[in-house]
Amino acid sequence: MGQFMTNTILPKYADSMGASTFMVGLVGSSFAVTTLLMRPVSGAAIDSFNRKNLLILTEIFIALANISYRISDNVTLIIISRAIHGIGAGAFTPLALTIVSGCLPEEKMASGIGVFALGQAFSMALGPNIGLFLVGIFDYHFVFIGSACLAVLSIVLVLLLPNAKAREKKHFAIRADNVFDRGSLGATLVMMYIGFTHTCVNTYIVLYGLNRGVERVGLYFTAYAASLLISRPLSGSIADRFGYKTSMIPAFICSVASYIFIGLSDSLYLFIIAGIFSAFGQGSIQPSIISLSMRLAPPERSGVVVNTLYAGLDFGMLIAGPVCGFICTLIANASGNLLTGYSGMFFVLIIPAVIGLVCFLYLDKKNSILRTK
């Protein structure tokens, strides 16, 4: 919740300090860079140290980052604070997922991960609006302190978690085999697709909607987040009962449909439909591919596997902005119409969706678990 609150207001906060468009972009990219750089360290640490203590450490970094936002009086300090935030956030998600997967029976893995992912869906639906509301009532500093308090509250909740079962811990060392799991390459490519397309849509859909004359295009995100509350537990339950093929192939089809609806959207109604399809598409694919990978991974490799998946997600997010911007500019220059550039860019997203489906089908061919209930 705290992260979605601050993510929404930080660009406006930097802009209020007189930051250029380039510097505002650096505020976002500094987070992605440190998140990605944390992957080698966190992958080795998750399987080597006490996971509850590591989770507390990540929350301390997140709390410190929010306090640092509060005392920053120039854009450079905001960028440094954002980098600190990336260190905590980069380790938090794979660490939390590893802890969750260790608590779930194998036959409930997909639905369990889906329920866990509801926390993100819930905060995604409420966090941005709460952050903007609090800025309007109070100021930016109040939101940063509030987010720091939420991180401290999370530390208290971590302390209440039951202790994990005894497991064999590895000696901490950053090596290729405890940084990247080669067996998870196909799943990592699917996660890269999720990161790439999700970032591309989030970055450009508001500008596209405004150019289309749709004022309330932000309701796309509301429709997406609200639909996640249904799609994620539903897709997990279907995967557990009928197999991953039954849940994943329709999800890829829904993803393609969402890009088509966005590309054709000239009304708020179509944007909302696109948001719903996106939730049942890429919003369902992410927890399903994670739960599948966790079921296939030996327990002692779970931390490395999750870390590998999120490295793919981070890389997709990192390259999405410039790549999609280049595609949009290329199409706009060729057609002489900026709207055609935006629309064509969203249609091009069908290509990585097809590649993601091919990667999933490769996993299906390689692992019989996808064909079993």
Q: What is the pLDDT of residues 262-298, one digit of tens each?
A: 999 888 999 999 999 999 998 888 888 888 887 777 7
195-216: average pLDDT: 82
Nearest-10 Cα torsion for 110, 115, 116, 120: 120
Q: What is the pLDDT of residue 365?
A: 63
Residue where the block lists tokens 């530390």: 155
Cα 260 to Cα 73, 275, 277, 341, 353: the distances in Å are 43, 11, 10, 14, 12
Confidence of residue 373 (pLDDT cuts 50, 70, 90): very low
CB 115 within 8 A of CB 61: no
Higher pLDDT, 365 or 238: 238
Confidence of residue 56 (pLDDT cuts 50, 70, 90): very high
**pLDDT tens figures, 139-150:** 889 999 999 999
Q: What is the pLDDT of residue 368?
A: 45
**pLDDT tens figures, 102-129:** 778 877 777 787 788 778 777 877 787 7
Q: What is the pLDDT of residue 364?
A: 63
**Per-residue pLDDT for 48 more than 80?**
no
Q: What whole-number distance in Å separates Cα of residue 240 and Cα of residue 108?
A: 6
Q: How many other β-carbons are positioned within 10 Å of the β-carbon of residue 158?
A: 18
DSSP class of 161 = S
Q: What is the pLDDT of residue 62?
A: 93
In sequence order, the 6+-apart residues with CB closer than 8 A to the CB of 288 are: 110, 113, 114, 235, 236, 239, 244, 247, 248, 251
Q: Where are the alpha helices (DSSP H) in the chain?
A: 2-16, 21-46, 51-71, 75-103, 109-116, 118-137, 140-160, 185-211, 219-242, 244-264, 268-280, 282-296, 302-335, 338-348, 350-366
229-238: average pLDDT: 84
Average pLDDT, the chain: 82
Q: What whole-number distance in Å separates Cα of residue 130 and Cα of residue 2?
A: 10
Mutual orientation of helices 219-242 and 185-211 as an angle, nearest 10°? 150
Domain 1-162 CATH superfamily: MFS general substrate transporter like domains (1.20.1250.20)
- Ranges in the chain annotated CATH 1.20.1250.20: 1-162, 180-373
354-359: average pLDDT: 86
DSSP class of 367 = -
**Per-residue pLDDT for 318 more than 80?**
no
Residue where the block lists tokens 């996993």: 363
**pLDDT tens figures, 321-339:** 778 888 888 998 999 888 9
Look up residue 288 and give its amino acid. Answer: S
Confidence of residue 351 (pLDDT cuts 50, 70, 90): very high
Q: What whole-number distance in Å separates Cα of residue 346 and Cα of residue 186?
A: 24
Q: What is the pLDDT of residue 143?
A: 92
Given this structure, which CATH class describes domain 180-373? mainly alpha
Rounded to two decimals, the pTM is 0.73
Confidence of residue 371 (pLDDT cuts 50, 70, 90): very low
**Per-residue pLDDT for 369 more than 50?**
no
